[in-house]
């Protein structure tokens, strides 16, 4: 290994992979990573994440809201995942109110800083999508 810092070497390697997969990515960042994951159409998400696999189970929208709840409790360490999940939840038909209530309820479990950060991220995503 030519670089004595394994983290720098790994980041350089990942940046190279990201550019190969998507030349529009200038750097391997959480925001750049999100560009690799397009929002799935509602029908596709429902088939693979919702009732398509288990007709008696939860629908994709509910699963996305539950995922958002868990990510909210994690706090700022899950920023990219929160943004991706908010986009997916909205695509599944979740309203701004449902997204806000999901995040707000998690303030009881993850604390107000985690809730505030998730609200900030969700607002940015939903404003961008308008």
**What is the percentage of the chain residues whose pLDDT exceeds 70?**
82
| The model's pTM | 0.69
pLDDT, one tens digit per residue, over 93-119 is 999 999 999 999 999 999 999 999 999
Round to whole Å and give the CA distance between 42 and 23.
27
- CA distances in angstroms from 83 to 4, 6, 9, 53, 119, listed in the order given: 34, 29, 27, 25, 10
Q: What is the pLDDT of residues 14-64, one digit of tens each?
A: 777 777 776 665 555 666 666 666 677 777 777 777 777 778 888 989 999
Q: How far apart are CA 119 and CA 124, in angstroms?
A: 9
């Amino acid at each position: 290994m030519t670089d004595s810092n394994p983290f720098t070497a790994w980041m350089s390697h990942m940046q190279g992979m990201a550019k190969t997969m998507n030349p529009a990515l200038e750097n391997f960042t959480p925001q750049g990573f999100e560009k690799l994951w397009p929002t799935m159409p509602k029908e596709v998400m429902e088939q693979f994440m919702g009732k398509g696999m288990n007709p008696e189970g939860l629908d994709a929208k509910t699963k996305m809201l539950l995922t958002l709840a868990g990510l909210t409790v994690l706090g700022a360490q899950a920023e990219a995942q929160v943004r991706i999940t908010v986009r997916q939840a909205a695509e599944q038909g979740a309203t701004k109110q449902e997204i806000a209530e999901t995040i707000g309820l998690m303030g009881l479990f993850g604390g107000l800083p985690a809730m505030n950060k998730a609200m900030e991220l969700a607002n940015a995503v939903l404003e961008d999508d308008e």
